[in-house]
């Protein structure tokens, strides 16, 4: 979730004194954890063909490595958010990072698909819980005046992982093997665990999200429709992007090193697009979001028809589009119910993970039955559905918050 850079910063602020260097070290330790989590989540995308060949499974079945943690995280995010008030947040974050280390090590040594999916399931538990508590904890690590900066640093870890996570996996696998990619990521998670153990202060439990707030959020038709918008657009991306490495290798004929470079370019232009979207969402959210959805659909439709540099260009266009999409759809969803920020946050995580899981699952079915190119057609179709959901809110120039709350 990776890609949840617009998660509401509903933080509990407790410190009034100026923040010390140790406070900031604790923030950086959580940011490092965010980087490790998102890198692990996206890692299989870049090495999917190698894993499929090693485990003697199809590319579509290998896509379950993305589906399973998404499904588990979708359930664990609200569950942990509802129950986390019983545990000191320091202990909870450390436990979740331990699970991340175990997940990577289990994936690295897995001899069969079942063991691999067990490791990825543990990742899902840790991932959902991490997003449910990490952002709130970040604001408690520093003084009130510095809380926003602390939260931004956590998001920086997410952004870097979004950019480098997939190409990192392909790069390490090119030098060594896909198993070594998971070993290195386990080492990264272990480093984050050590940093958190040394720097995180005690974070006593507080009253967390209540079920009635979730039910109140879900009772709103516009909130449900915004969840549908978020889900369709994210699923449109992952139904195709999960299988981008097989497409670039098998269909487009690129070498492993070229695939690494292309995926790195995808992430870099996406990061720039994210910053560009941040400057337009307050005044032109409808137009900006609609434009990037259309751009993603065009790129997905064009890719099966292109060769060579045309493929590279289309992938970069897709990267520009998706780089702006998470912030756009997340902001749209937040504005549905600003009075219920924690409920919105929990359902944002859940919807995002369900979209990742369902997109990669149905994309995998298409890949195994009709070829890798069919996943791109599926993504474009789901993207058009998401565009239709967005247009159902109207095209008024009024602020989106007013329009969604009427």
| Tens-digit pLDDT profile for residues 289-310 | 888 999 999 999 999 988 889 9
Q: Name the residue among 331, 337, 87, 125 with its Cα closest to residue 213.
A: 337
Average confidence (pLDDT) over 117-136: 84
Average confidence (pLDDT) over 297-325: 90
Average confidence (pLDDT) over 191-205: 85
The pLDDT assigned to 164 comes to: 75
Does residue 63 carry a pLDDT above 50? yes
Asked whether residue 323 is assigned to any structural domain, the reply reads yes
Question: For 15, phi and psi rounded to 5 degrees?
Answer: -95, 130
The pLDDT assigned to 13 comes to: 37
What is the C-alpha radius of gyration for the chain, rounded to an integer number of angstroms? 20
| Other CB atoms within 10 A of residue 32 CB | 22
Asked whether residue 9 is assigned to any structural domain, the reply reads no
Q: If DSSP codes are grouped into helix, strand and coil, which group holds residue 394?
A: coil
Q: Name the residue among 388, 22, 383 with its Cα closest to residue 200.
A: 22
Specify the higher pLDDT residue, 374 or 347: 374
Percent of the chain with pLDDT over 90: 23
Domain range for 164 is: 21-405
Percent of the chain with pLDDT over 70: 82
Asked whether residue 53 is assigned to any structural domain, the reply reads yes
The pLDDT assigned to 7 comes to: 42
Predicted confidence band of residue 156 (pLDDT cuts 50, 70, 90): low
The pLDDT assigned to 142 comes to: 64
Average confidence (pLDDT) over 371-381: 90
Global pTM reads 0.74
pLDDT digits (tens, 9 = 90+) for 226-249: 889 999 999 999 999 988 888 998
The pLDDT assigned to 179 comes to: 94
Asked whether residue 395 is assigned to any structural domain, the reply reads yes
Specify the higher pLDDT residue, 63 or 186: 186
Asked whether residue 155 is assigned to any structural domain, the reply reads yes
Predicted confidence band of residue 325 (pLDDT cuts 50, 70, 90): confident
Indicate the range of 59-68, 109-118, 274-283 predicted with least confidence: 274-283
Asked whether residue 203 is assigned to any structural domain, the reply reads yes
pLDDT digits (tens, 9 = 90+) for 85-122: 667 778 888 999 999 999 999 999 999 999 999 999 99
Does residue 125 carry a pLDDT above 70? yes
The pLDDT assigned to 12 comes to: 37
Q: Name the residue among 285, 260, 26 with its Cα closest to residue 150.
A: 26
Q: What is the CATH number of the domain that holds 69?
A: 1.20.1250.20
Does residue 278 carry a pLDDT above 60? yes
Specify the higher pLDDT residue, 8 or 73: 73
The pLDDT assigned to 185 comes to: 92
The pLDDT assigned to 249 comes to: 87
pLDDT digits (tens, 9 = 90+) for 137-155: 766 776 666 665 666 667 6
The pLDDT assigned to 46 comes to: 79
The pLDDT assigned to 107 comes to: 92
Instruction: State how many domains the chain has.
Output: 1
Q: Are 311 and 261 in contact (CB under 8 A)?
A: no
Q: Name the residue among 205, 211, 206, 209 with its Cα closest to residue 81.
A: 209
d(CA 15, CA 341): 22
- Angle at the Cα of 154 (from 152 to 155), degrees rounded to 5? 65
Average pLDDT, the chain: 80
The pLDDT assigned to 368 comes to: 85
pLDDT digits (tens, 9 = 90+) for 2-52: 444 444 433 333 343 445 777 788 888 888 888 899 889 888 877 888 889
The pLDDT assigned to 9 comes to: 39
d(CA 333, CA 344): 7
The pLDDT assigned to 188 comes to: 92
Specify the higher pLDDT residue, 242 or 123: 123
The pLDDT assigned to 245 comes to: 84
């Amino acid at each position: 979730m990776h890609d949840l850079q617009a998660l509401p910063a509903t933080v509990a602020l407790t410190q009034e004194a100026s923040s010390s260097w140790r406070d900031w070290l604790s923030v950086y330790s959580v940011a490092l954890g965010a980087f490790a989590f998102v890198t692990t989540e996206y890692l299989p995308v870049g090495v999917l063909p190698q894993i499929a060949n090693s485990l003697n499974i199809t590319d579509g079945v290998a896509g379950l490595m993305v589906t399973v943690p998404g499904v588990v995280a979708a359930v664990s995010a609200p569950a942990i958010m509802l129950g986390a008030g019983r545990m000191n947040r320091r202990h909870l974050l450390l436990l979740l990072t331990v699970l991340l280390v175990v997940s990577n090590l289990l994936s690295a040594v897995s001899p069969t698909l079942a063991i691999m999916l067990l490791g990825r399931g543990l990742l899902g538990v840790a991932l959902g819980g991490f997003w449910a508590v990490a952002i709130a904890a970040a604001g408690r690590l520093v003084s009130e005046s510095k809380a926003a900066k602390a939260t931004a640093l956590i998001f920086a870890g997410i952004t870097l992982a979004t950019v480098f996570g997939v190409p990192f996996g392909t790069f390490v696998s090119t030098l060594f093997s896909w198993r070594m990619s998971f070993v290195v990521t386990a080492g990264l998670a272990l480093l984050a665990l050590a940093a958190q153990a040394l720097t995180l202060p005690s974070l006593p439990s507080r009253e967390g999200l209540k079920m009635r707030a979730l039910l109140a959020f879900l009772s709103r038709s516009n909130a449900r429709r915004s969840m549908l918008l978020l889900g369709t657009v994210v699923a449109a991306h992952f139904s195709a992007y999960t299988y981008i490495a097989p497409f670039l290798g098998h269909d487009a004929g690129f070498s492993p090193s070229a695939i690494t470079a292309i995926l790195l370019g995808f992430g870099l232009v996406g990061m720039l697009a994210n910053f560009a979207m941040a400057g337009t969402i307050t005044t032109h959210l409808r137009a900006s979001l609609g434009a990037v959805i259309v751009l993603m659909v065009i790129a997905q439709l064009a890719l099966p028809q292109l060769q060579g540099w045309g493929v590279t260009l289309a992938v970069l266009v897709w990267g520009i589009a998706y780089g702006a999409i998470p912030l756009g759809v997340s902001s749209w969803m937040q504005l549905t119910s600003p009075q219920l920020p924690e409920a919105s946050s929990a359902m944002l995580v859940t919807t995002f993970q369900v979209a990742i899981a369902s997109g990669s699952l149905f994309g995998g079915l298409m890949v195994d039955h009709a070829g890798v190119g069919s996943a791109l057609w599926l993504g474009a179709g789901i993207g058009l559905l998401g565009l239709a959901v967005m247009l159902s809110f109207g095209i008024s120039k009024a602020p989106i918050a007013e329009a969604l709350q009427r």
